[in-house]
Structures are given as structure tokens and as C-alpha cells.
């Protein structure tokens, strides 16, 4: 059975969780977390690298011991260390870590002091008022835990887009190799580039005698078959991801794509328009009476209701139908439009690779410039730069630029925005840089008024260029902080600075609706990787997907510009 990087990363994360609950050495715990991150963001499957004889110890944070554990998981599907840790702690304990506000230290206290092992036991303990008596908890924490458990129980598990992509791409490649299979497309929220995916809907056209259904249900990663018929089957993969496969007729493929891509609200709106024209639209085609009049491709479906084909990312019933009717559909930005990346880190702080390695990787990804934006000194855990270390890095960038061909490094910093809105480094230091990326890394729970004012004051600093990950969210881990985003966007317009769309799959921040808001207010957005290793520039595709969901066109995106034009815009903010 193929073992994906996401599977290995999940095992390493669980090992780290269990070690932390047990109170193990923090450095050992951090090693597993770093390895999980490296593997989760690695574009090539570790199994494929091992099959080619590659040395995994060349990967950031992977030493000989961890490389051996990766090989064990790839070859056996198991980790002997994880199996042992699961015997030492009840299996359900790590599910408690999925509850917002519960880290390993609190889970350890709940387990040892109250014998809480499951979410149900946690709920009862909070409901009965037993948690507030524990050191470090209190009545307010207990109330928050109760609310979080109630929300968790009613929340269906979803997979981050980048994780779902790994399973989807492997499965698509497998299905394309089945005899008689012609077209294979993943539809649903995955095709609309939603930040999380509940399941995968795959559409296939195939010859009548194709064994595609038999091959699909026998796929090595299938853990269980929910249903299986001649044209439709549903399975659950070992990862827990549900996959539905439908074989459709060639003449109905476009109609099926529209129907199963969704969204539901978009499809209902299209069907209502069709009904007014005496048409019926469903997954089998567009019909006038019993006669099929369209459906072989998506363009024919939309043309039947006098609309141009609407890009999948816009199909949310948020004005795209009216825009299509009025000829105002945007020409959405493409990954190939990006000329550079304005947010990346190296080994100088919490990155994994050198300046040269990052520059060459950016060039290989098709970029022409890359801003190096290390953390500033306030972020001590990331070994943030003080003025002296920043000056040394700037000198190193100058020396490297003299040697590089086809890629230019820009001098930047990801400077902490402090609680009072000041920046972590003095103005005279920031003024020597090509750009200043401001970011919040602390005090996430300030009131809406205070958090908004904090950001506005930071944007007013003379060298502020770009607001990093403006909402501060981590998908399914941390909610966005409470800010008046419209006010921030309008202040950026008045100040002449920019907003980031952070493409890291854990962030995808700006939200799509805020991208659209920025576009309407005339504020440019920079789609950045926030790369911490040379492998992470591939994340830009998810940022572009989010930008497309936010209606952004090439000219709305700052880093689609050539370097000369970009420098002119950056100088206006310095």
C-alpha cells in the first residue's frame, strides 16, 4: 500500500503529542514535530525517494534515527514506537488535542488528575464543574472547554486542501491507468479550491467494458467500501477520507461536472434561470422536454442559459452569475502570472535552507525574484534577527546577487507588530531594506477595537510595506483574530501599502471574501509562499487558488509585476 507523506507526518505528530503528554524531552518532541512539518510539505513522496535510493537525511530536520523511522513506516505501514506509545496511553487521549484550547500540558493534567480519556468524559467533567478546580484551569477555561466540545462533536472532519490534494492526485493517476478510462476529474469543493475538503467527488468517462469500478474498490488505500455499483461507488480511504466515484456518459460529462462541482447555491441559481427558459438542468444534461440540448461540456451548459462558462472557483453564488450576465467576469490570476515571492525564510531564523538554496529553488519554480524576510528579534523561538544580524544578512544578499543569474534576492524582514502598534526594529534599520513585512505573532485575543488600532498604527510607520497573514488564522487550529478588515483595507489604500495572501496550506490568509474586498477597494494583494524550505514554493498554487476564489486578476496581485515595476511600487511605501 502506498504511504503518503501526510500519513507519515500524521504519525510523527501523534508521536510528538503522546511524548508531550508523557512529559518527554522537549527537544525530542520538537524533532518529531519538525520532521512532520518537513514531510507534510515535501512535494515528492518519501517512499518514491527511498525507492530511488535517495538519502532522507538530506531533508531538513531528518537525521538517521528519523530517516529509519520513515523507512519503517513506508515499508510496513506501522511505527513500532507509535504502537508502543499507544499501548502506554489510551488511544482516545490524542483526540482531546483536537479540542481548541487544549494543548498537551492540559490534556496531561486532565488525564492524570481526572482520568479523562475521551471527549465524552471531558464533556461530563466540564458539565459537572470538576475541571475548574485543577491548577491552571478555572471557571472561564472550563466554560470555554464545554463550548469547544459541543462545537467539536457537531463538526464533521475535513481535510486541508493540500492534504486532500496528495490523495486526489495519487488516485487520479491510478484511475487514468485503468484500461478504457478516458477523462478523470476531481469535482466538488476540491475543484472550487476550498481551503478544506470533506470528501472527494471523482468523475470518469470510460468505455463500457472498462473495469474502472473494480479497480477503484480494490485500490490499495481503500479501508472500507460503502457502496459499489456499475456506475457509482463510495469508499473510505485508510486516511479517513471518503471518495465517491461516478462513471458518466461522454455526452453528459460537462453537465455532471457542473452539478458535482457545485456549490449547491450556485447550481440552484442556474437551475432557476433554466426553468424560466423552459429547460431542465441536472447531472445528465440540459433538457427541453425529453430532448438533451446541451451537456457534453461545461461551456454548453452555461451557454444554454446565455452565460459564459464561470470558473469553478467562483461558483459560490456570490455575484458571479450577475457578473457573467453583465460581461463582468474577471480574468482570474494564474500561477504562471507570478513573477516572484515576497515572503520567505532561511536557516538564519526558523527556515531549513541557505540563501543560495532558497534562491535556486525559487528560480526552479519559475520565479524571477524572492524577498528574504526573516523574523525579527522579538520572535526569540525563531531566532529572530537583531539589527546587527540583519545587516550581515543584507551584505550576504548583496554578495549572492552578484553571482546569481535569473533570480534576484530582495532584502526584507518579517517584523513583529507589538501590542502598541510599534515595530520590533527601529526605523533607521528598516529604511535600509527593500520591503518591510509586518506581522502579528502575539496577543491574538485583543478586543476588535484594540487589535484594529494596533494594525493601523503599524501601517503608519514610515517603512511599512506589507501586512502578513492579515487574519492570523491557522485553519482548524486558531480562529482569525477579531479585526475590522474593511477599515484595515481602506487604511492600506490611504497609506499606499499592501496585504499578503499567505499561501501556506495551514493559513490561506487572506480569506477569499477579504481578497474580493481588497480588489473592490483598489488594494493590491501579494500571493506569498511564506516558504521555510526550498520545497515550499509549490504551496503558491494554493495561494493562487484562494486568490481566484477572491476574484483577483493579474493586475490585482502585486507580485505579478516585473522586478523593475515592483521596485517602483515598493519605494512608494518606504
State the fold for domain 5-153.
DNA polymerase; domain 1 (1.10.150)
Choose the CATH number for 159-247 among 3.30.930.10, 3.30.460.10, 1.10.10.10, 2.60.40.10: 3.30.460.10
Average pLDDT per consecutive 10 residues, the chain (574 residues; last block may be shorter): 82 90 89 90 85 89 93 91 87 76 84 84 88 88 86 75 94 96 97 96 96 95 92 92 95 97 94 94 95 96 97 95 96 98 96 95 98 92 90 97 97 97 96 97 93 97 96 89 94 97 96 95 97 94 98 98 96 79
The per-residue pLDDT for 153 is 67
- The closest of 176, 181, 174, 171 to 241, measured between CA atoms, is 171
The per-residue pLDDT for 155 is 61
- The closest of 524, 530, 534 to 543, measured between CA atoms, is 530
Architecture of the domain defined by 252-325: 2-Layer Sandwich (3.30)
The per-residue pLDDT for 23 is 84
Report angle CA 96, 99, 102 to the nearest 5 degrees: 75
Q: What is d(CA 507, CA 527) in angstroms, rounded to the nearest whole number? A: 12
**Beta pairing partners, 236:** 224, 242
Cell numbers representing residue 68 in the block? 529509519
Q: What is d(CA 326, CA 329) in angstroms, rounded to the nearest whole number? A: 8
Q: How do beta strands 435-439 and 408-416 pair?
A: parallel
How many Cβ atoms from other residues are within 10 Å of residue 229's Cβ? 10
* Residue pair 498/465 in contact by the 8 Å Cβ criterion: yes
Q: Please provide the CATH number assigned to the domain covering 335-573.
A: 3.20.20.140
The per-residue pLDDT for 201 is 97
Q: What is d(CA 559, CA 543) in angstroms, rounded to the nearest whole number? A: 12
The per-residue pLDDT for 272 is 93
DSSP string, 482-534: ---HHHHHHHHHHHT-EEEEE--TTT-BS-HHHHHHHHHHT--EEEE--BSST
Domain ranges for the chain:
5-153, 159-247, 252-325, 335-573
Q: What is d(CA 262, CA 455) in angstroms, rounded to the nearest whole number? A: 37
pTM: 0.83
Cell numbers representing residue 50 in the block? 527511498
- The closest of 134, 126, 186, 130 to 161, measured between CA atoms, is 186
Cβ burial of 81 (10 Å; 0-12, 13-18, 19+) is middle
* Residue pair 406/444 in contact by the 8 Å Cβ criterion: no
3-state SS, residue 389:
helix
Cell 484562494, residue?
546
- Cis peptide preceding 408, ω within 30 of 0: no
Cell 500524521, residue?
10
3-state SS, residue 563:
helix
Q: What is d(CA 282, CA 304) in angstroms, rounded to the nearest whole number? A: 13
- Please provide the distance, in angstroms rounded to a whole number, between the alpha carbons at the two ends of the chain: 54
Cell 504519525, residue?
11
* Residue pair 256/203 in contact by the 8 Å Cβ criterion: yes
- The closest of 323, 336, 334 to 547, measured between CA atoms, is 334
Describe the crossing of helices 5-22 and 104-114 by its angle, rounded to 10 degrees.
50
Amino acid at each position: 500500500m502506498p504511504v503518503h507523506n501526510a500519513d507519515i507526518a500524521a504519525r510523527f505528530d501523534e508521536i510528538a503529542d503522546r511524548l508531550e503528554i508523557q512529559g518527554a524531552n522537549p527537544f525530542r518532541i520538537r524533532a518529531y514535530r519538525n520532521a512532520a512539518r518537513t514531510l507534510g510539505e515535501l512535494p515528492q513522496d518519501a517512499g518514491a525517494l527511498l525507492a530511488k535510493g535517495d538519502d532522507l537525511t538530506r531533508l531538513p530536520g531528518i537525521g538517521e534515527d528519523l530517516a529509519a523511522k520513515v523507512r519503517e513506516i513506508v515499508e510496513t505501514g506501522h511505527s513500532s514506537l507509535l504502537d508502543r506509545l499507544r499501548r502506554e496511553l489510551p488511544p482516545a487521549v490524542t483526540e482531546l488535542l483536537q479540542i481548541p484550547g487544549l494543548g498537551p500540558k492540559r490534556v496531561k493534567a486532565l488525564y492524570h488528575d481526572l482520568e479523562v480519556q475521551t471527549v465524552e468524559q471531558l464533556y461530563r467533567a466540564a458539565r459537572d464543574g470538576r475541571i475548574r478546580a485543577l491548577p491552571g484551569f478555572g471557571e472561564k477555561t472550563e466554560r470555554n472547554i464545554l463550548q469547544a466540545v459541543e462545537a467539536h462533536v457537531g463538526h464533521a472532519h475535513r481535510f486541508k486542501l493540500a492534504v486532500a490534494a496528495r490523495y486526489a492526485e495519487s488516485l487520479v493517476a491510478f484511475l487514468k491507468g485503468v484500461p478504457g478510462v478516458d477523462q478523470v476529474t476531481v469535482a466538488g469543493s476540491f475543484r472550487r479550491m476550498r481551503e478544506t475538503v470533506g470528501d472527494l467527488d471523482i468523475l470518469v468517462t470510460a468505455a463500457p467494458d472498462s473495469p474502472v469500478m473494480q479497480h477503484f474498490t480494490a485500490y490499495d488505500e481503500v479501508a472500507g467500501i460503502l457502496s459499489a455499483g456499475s456506475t457509482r461507488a463510495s469508499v473510505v480511504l485508510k486516511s479517513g477520507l471518503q471518495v465517491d466515484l461516478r462513471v458518466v456518459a461522454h455526452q453528459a460529462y460537462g453537465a455532471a461536472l457542473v452539478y458535482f462541482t457545485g456549490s449547491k447555491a450556485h447550481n440552484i441559481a442556474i437551475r432557476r434561470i433554466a426553468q424560466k427558459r423552459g429547460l431542465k438542468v441536472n447531472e445528465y444534461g440540459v433538457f427541453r422536454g425529453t430532448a438533451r440540448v446541451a451537456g457534453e461540456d461545461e461551456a454548453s451548459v452555461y451557454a444554454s442559459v446565455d452565460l459564459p462558462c464561470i470558473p469553478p472557483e467562483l461558483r459560490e453564488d456570490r455575484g458571479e452569475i450577475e457578473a457573467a450576465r453583465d460581461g463582468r467576469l474577471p480574468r482570474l490570476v494564474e500561477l504562471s502570472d507570478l513573477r516572484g515571492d515576497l515572503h520567505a525564510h532561511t536557516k538564519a531564523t526558523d527556515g531549513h535552507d541557505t540563501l543560495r538554496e532558497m534562491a535556486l529553488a525559487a528560480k526552479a519554480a519559475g520565479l524571477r525574484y524572492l524577498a528574504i524576510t526573516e523574523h525579527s528579534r522579538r520572535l526569540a523561538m525563531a531566532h529572530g534577527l537583531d539589527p546587527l544580524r540583519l545587516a550581515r544578512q543584507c551584505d550576504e544578499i548583496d554578495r549572492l546577487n552578484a553571482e546569481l543569474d535569473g533570480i534576484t534576492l530582495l532584502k526584507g524582514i518579517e517584523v513583529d507588530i507589538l501590542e502598541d502598534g510599534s515595530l520590533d526594529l527601529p526605523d533607521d534599520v528598516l529604511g535600509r531594506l527593500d520591503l518591510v513585512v509586518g506581522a502579528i505573532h502575539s496577543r491574538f485575543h485583543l478586543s476588535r477595537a484594540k487589535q484594529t488600532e494596533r494594525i493601523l498604527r503599524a501601517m503608519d510607520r514610515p517603512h511599512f510595506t506589507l501586512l502578513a497573514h492579515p487574519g492570523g488564522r491557522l485553519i482548524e487550529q486558531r480562529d482569525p483574530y477579531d479585526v475590522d478588515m474593511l477599515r484595515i483595507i481602506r487604511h492600506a489604500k490611504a497609506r499606499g501599502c499592501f496585504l499578503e495572501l499567505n499561501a501556506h496550506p495551514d493559513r490561506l490568509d487572506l480569506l477569499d471574501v477579504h481578497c474580493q474586498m481588497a480588489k473592490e477597494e483598489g488594494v493590491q494583494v501579494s500571493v506569498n509562499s511564506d516558504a521555510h524550505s526550498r520545497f515550499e514554493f509549490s504551496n503558491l498554487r494554493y495561494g493562487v487558488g484562494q486568490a481566484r476564489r477572491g476574484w483577483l486578476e493579474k493586475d490585482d496581485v502585486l507580485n505579478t509585476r516585473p522586478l523593475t515595476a515592483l521596485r517602483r511600487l515598493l519605494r512608494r511605501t518606504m
